[in-house]
Amino acid sequence: MTHGLRLGYGTNGLTDLRLEDALALLADLGYDGVGLTLDHMHLDPYAPDLAARTSRIARRLGELGLAVTVETGARYVLDPRRKHGPTLLEADACDRWSRIRMLVRAVRIAADLGAHAVHCFSGILPPGESADDGWKRLADGLGVVLDAAEEAGVPLAVEPEPGHLLESLADFHRLRADLGDPAPLGLTLDIGHCQCLEPASPADCVRDAAPWLRHVQIEDMRRGVHEHLPFGDGEIDFPPVLAALADCGYQGLTVVELPRHSHAGPELAAHSLRFLRNGGTR
């Protein structure tokens, strides 16, 4: 059993499917929602007729009964030569503003879709740049996005990402303090990342993060290795994690995150749902 959790699957793990086909697949399998990554193959935020395309996807989500969270982790949507670039940490202000404008656009798309949150992350600190400068740029850039999120009524859910400037729960709390704990600021908690690098267990991370949880990503992982794995291929003890999510009253989507497994996306989507519905028992 899934303890009443609302389960989703990330479209970044279904990139070999058209978006409409991916949504139909998830609905047919019985998922409650989708983590929709804005990318060139799925609701491209920079292709023509964005408003019309967004409206069409919103209608389709409603017809299929799928909830949605907007994710912004597309690898090359801004720069075809730099993975996840540019980030909010760039020394060049024009580069930083490219990312800021994309995140503001994502907030507006999320509002039009009726999404529960917009996910984002800090990015990797560029070589030669100081961490103090990086934290200042991150806070300044996210301040603009948070203003848009507050106006749109859509929470911004920042994800700690291994290897990034903001990579841990402690780093998230530093950002909260730097920004003055604004109401629209929330957390994306990736369960695999907890296993990878947090000192506490994934279940304890859920309990510690509960007041700020706005989005959850889930997959298997091994300690010290940032590799998203299908359920059963890593080390995570999932029943306590699922129980902790239920006990803390989390109401958002818990989205399977397997971005390197699109070649087997339909099969893994089915397997993942069976695993989670079985309570995460190996």
Q: What is the pLDDT of residues 254-274, one digit of tens each?
A: 999 999 999 999 999 999 999
**Alpha-carbon span 28 to 9, nearest angstrom:** 13
- Say what angle helices 238-247 and 265-277 make with each other, to 10 degrees: 70
**Alpha-carbon span 202 to 130, nearest angstrom:** 30
pLDDT given for residue 282 in this prediction = 77
pLDDT category, 63, cuts 50, 70, 90? very high
**Alpha-carbon span 234 to 239, nearest angstrom:** 14
How large a percentage of the chain has pLDDT more than 90? 98
Token reading at 20: 């409409």
Report, as an integer, the average pLDDT of 16-37: 98
Report, as an integer, the average pLDDT of 96-111: 98
Residue 247 predicted with pLDDT over 60: yes
In this structure, are residues 187 and 158 in contact, taking their beta carbons and an 8 Å threshold? yes
Q: What is the pLDDT of residues 187-232, one digit of tens each?
A: 999 999 999 999 999 999 999 999 999 999 999 999 999 999 999 9
Decide which of 3.20.20.150, 3.40.50.300, 3.90.600.10, 2.60.40.10 is the CATH code for 6-277.
Answer: 3.20.20.150
How large a percentage of the chain has pLDDT more than 70? 99
Q: What is the four-CA torsion angle of 72, 261, 264, 113, rounded to 10 degrees?
A: -10
Report, as an integer, the average pLDDT of 162-180: 98
pLDDT given for residue 136 in this prediction = 98
Q: What is the mean pLDDT of the chain?
A: 97
Report, as an integer, the average pLDDT of 19-41: 98
- Say what angle helices 19-29 and 265-277 make with each other, to 10 degrees: 30
pLDDT given for residue 4 in this prediction = 87
pLDDT given for residue 3 in this prediction = 65
pLDDT category, 67, cuts 50, 70, 90? very high
